[in-house]
Structure formats: structure tokens, C-alpha cells
Structure 1
Amino acid sequence: MELRLAQGTPCWVSLLTDDLPGAQDFYGGLLGWTYTPGPGQLGAYVRAELDGVPVAGLGVSTATGFPVLWTTYFAVDDADRTAQLVRECGGTVAVGPLQAEHAGRMAIAADVSGAVFGLWQGEEHPGREAGAEPGGPAWSELLTPDADGSAAFYAAVLARPVRPVRPGAEESALVVHGRPVAGIRHHADLRGHPPRWRTHFAVRDAEATAGRALALGGRVLVEPHPTAHGRAARLADPQGGHFSVLEAAG
């Protein structure tokens, strides 16, 4: 068995959609993914792979009216204990903790502002840490009108510090072993959307990827633009799932 990722590390992203074959076609064409079957406790589910290595999950939402949504999962040493901490700190646990066959133990929760996230206690499947490989997860960032409350929540639940990225900035970072692993950004105007974790995927060329998304039936919500993490664009898949792509700086 591979070693579990350090507690608090974003270790997986998973999409719940109402059209799994359509989502597979879109993301396969956009990010180069292939697919293998995954644990089916919550319905049809596949793992997306790059060169045979799992990078993300896609599943079918069984809840009527549930939005198409990308969810960030955080590695934890004990999913049951962390789920209890979520409740004690003012969040809610919607699913689990439950066993995902031999892959690991998981839960789906919401923080104090209602942003959905997951907990993953890896066993045979430890998850995958974000990185710069094109097609894989690159960064996760929480958009919330209550950044201070959210920072205190995740620091308590994940037992990791949350620190400002720089003095006076409206963005903080969850820190694991001295390294920022996820962002928490104050965002007063969410344009009708609830607070949420935004998933970024690494790409070689943000402009080309945005154009490809349009050709595959998706939408460009925010045109490619410079950010502190590199050139980025915000996109939506044909089913309405929002995500971002990130072209590494330099």
C-alpha cells in the first residue's frame, strides 16, 4: 500500500454530473483523460487517468436538482474523527463517513459558509497531490464572503495553519509542512453562486484550452487572464460544471 498523503493536503477532485457519458467525452477531449471503473457505493463512478495514473473522479449525482459540481477532497488520517470535528466546528456532514471498497474511507461535508468539500482517508488509493502536469489538478481555492470564519474552520478541522499569502492580501493559504496547498479567498460578490471550492487544472496553453472547450460544447466564463499563480481561464462544461484552467507561470 502506498503511503497516505499528509493530513490537510488536497488529494482528489471529483465531479458529480447529470450526464456521465457527456462529461467523459468533454473532459477526455479537453484534458486528455481516459477512464476506468471506480467504487460504486454512491452510483455510477469512473476514475479519470493520465498515462494510467488516476487524477480525478466523475460520478452521477443521485440527488434531484443537485448542481453539477467539482468537489475538492482533503487527505485525513481518520475520516470518522475529522467528520466529527466538522460538526463540532459548525459544519455539516452530508455523506458518510463510508468505505469506498478497498480504496479508502470518505465523507462529503460542508463548511460554516456552506461550501462543499470531501474528506479522504486513503488506503489502496491514496489520492493525488496537485501539481503542474498538464491535465491534472493544479490548485484548489475557496471563494467565500467569510474568509476569516472559513480559515478558522479549516485550521481547526484539518489541524493545519491558515496564513495570509502576503500582508494585506484578501487571500490566505492552508499550509502543510510549511507549503501552501490550497487558497481561501474573500469574495463578497459570488454572483448568485454559493461559497464554493474552485478546481483548477494545469494546461500548457490557457487560450488554446478555452478555444477547445468551446469546440467541445462548453463555455468560457472568464477569458484567459494573468493571476498570481499563472495565466488562468474560468470555464464550464456542457452540463454546467464550473472549473478553471491554469497555465503555470514561466
Structure 2
Amino acid sequence: MDFFAGVLGWTVLAEPGGSFSGWVGDRLAARVVAGDRGWRVFFGGDEPRELRGGSAVGGGRVLHGPWAPRPRGGEPCWVELMAEEPDDGFWVGELGWGVRPAGEGFVLFTSSRQGEPRPVAGRLATSRARGWRVYFAVGDVVAACGRVSALGGRVVVDPVVVPTGLVASVEGPGGGGGCVLLERPEGWGGAWA
């Protein structure tokens, strides 16, 4: 938690049971639960339930996504599913998403829950990483990578321009908490907004 607070500028609050929450102003950016490994992604939906790959449908109001205010530095700003054998039909069936091809091996999942379809997540066919990758907004990717290194983390992929914008892939000390940093996204999904 201290690592991500230092990299992303979170205000950290202790929660019951040894867990912590990271805040950006008055917005909850992440909750770190004692004993969990990796990021767990919660999607909006009508019925709370477990999904695949470290994801679930959560109850309550969606805090981040295509209809939320522009992401502030330190807030989640995109999620992307890395899958060797894509199963887009599962996500369409479970969450009511649409699928829009967006490049070789890449699709955008879209949602029309609140009006016109908007990109809600991406999916990349790859044999590298698997599962959901969480993107966090930062003001300056190069400076954030400097903080990652200074705090004992590792920059896995140096800053590079991809369809979402300028990104870098990082992980915390000991290899935990791998995520992607996205520089100054205009909205949910950066350039996809």
C-alpha cells in the first residue's frame, strides 16, 4: 500500500481487518485487502457475483468507468483483459457488453447501460500476461516510473505510446501489484474516451 501511495499519490486510510483504502481527494481509488494477491476488478451490474480472472460484479454505484468524471492522477482509468484464448462471448453474456474490433488481436468491450455505447474495457490476445490489467492515471509517466524505481519497484515496460496513450507497465517490490500507468487520460480508456 505504501508503494502505491508513493507512486500514485494516494491518501491511505486503515480499514477493519488489516485492509487499507487509497483515496484521491474524495474518490476511492483502490482497496487493498489483507491476504489478497493482485488486482481484483469489479464491474457494475444488477446482481453481485464472481466472474473469471480475478473479477466480479459488485453491488452499489460504479466509481470509475466511461460515465464517471475524468480520472484524476492516481485513479483507475482503464482495464484490459490479457488472454491467450479469448472468450469474448463469456463477457458479452455475463455483462451485456458489445464487442468492437480495434486492431490486430485487440477488441474493445462496450456498454450501453447508460445510453450510447462507450468503451468499458479492452481485450488483447496474448500469450504473455493473463488476467485483468488495471491502468492508473498519472500526470507524468516518466516521473511516475522514477518514483517506482526509487520505492523499490520495477518498470517492466518503459514508457511507450499505444492506442490508449503514453503508458508504462510497472510492478511493486517483490513483483506484486503489476499495473499500467497512463499519462493524462482524457477520460476512461484514455484515447478511447
Q: Give the TM-score normalised by the residue count of structure 1.
A: 0.66
SS at match of 2:143: helix
Structure 1: distance between partners of 2:58 and 2:153: 30
Structure 1: distance between partners of 2:124 and 2:108: 9
Aligned to 1:227: 162
CA deviation vs aligned residue, 1:123-182 (integer Å, no higher than 9, x gap): xxx2411443211011100000112x2x110000012212212xx532111111210010
Aligned positions of 1:234-249 closer than 5 A? 234-239=169-174, 240-248=176-184
Aligned to 1:90: none
SS at match of 2:64: coil
The more displaced of 26-35 and 130-139 is 130-139
Structure 1 residue 248, shift from structure 2 partner = 3.4
For the Cα contact (< 8 Å) 2:168–2:180, is it kept in 1? yes
Structure 1: distance between partners of 2:11 and 2:133: 23
Aligned positions of 1:49-64 closer than 5 A? 49-61=23-35
SS at match of 2:33: strand
Q: Which runs of 4+ in 1 moved over 4 A?
A: none
For the Cα contact (< 8 Å) 2:43–2:62, is it kept in 1? no
Q: Give the TM-score normalised by the residue count of structure 2.
A: 0.84
Q: Does 1:118 align with 2:56?
A: yes
Select the structure of larger CA radius of gyration: 1
Aligned to 1:73: 42
Aligned to 2:51: 109
Q: Does 1:145 align with 2:145?
A: no
In structure 1, give the amino acid aligned to 2:20: V
SS at match of 2:97: coil
Query: Structure 2: where are the runs of 5+ without partners?
Result: 187-193
Query: Structure 1: where are the runs of 5+ without partners?
Result: 1-23, 63-67, 84-107
Structure 1: distance between partners of 2:89 and 2:148: 36
Aligned positions of 1:113-192 closer than 5 A? 115-122=53-60, 126-130=61-65, 131-147=70-86, 149=87, 151-165=88-102, 169-177=104-112, 178-187=117-126, 189-190=127-128
SS at match of 1:60: coil
Structure 1: distance between partners of 2:71 and 2:133: 17
RMSD across aligned C-alpha pairs, in angstroms?
1.9
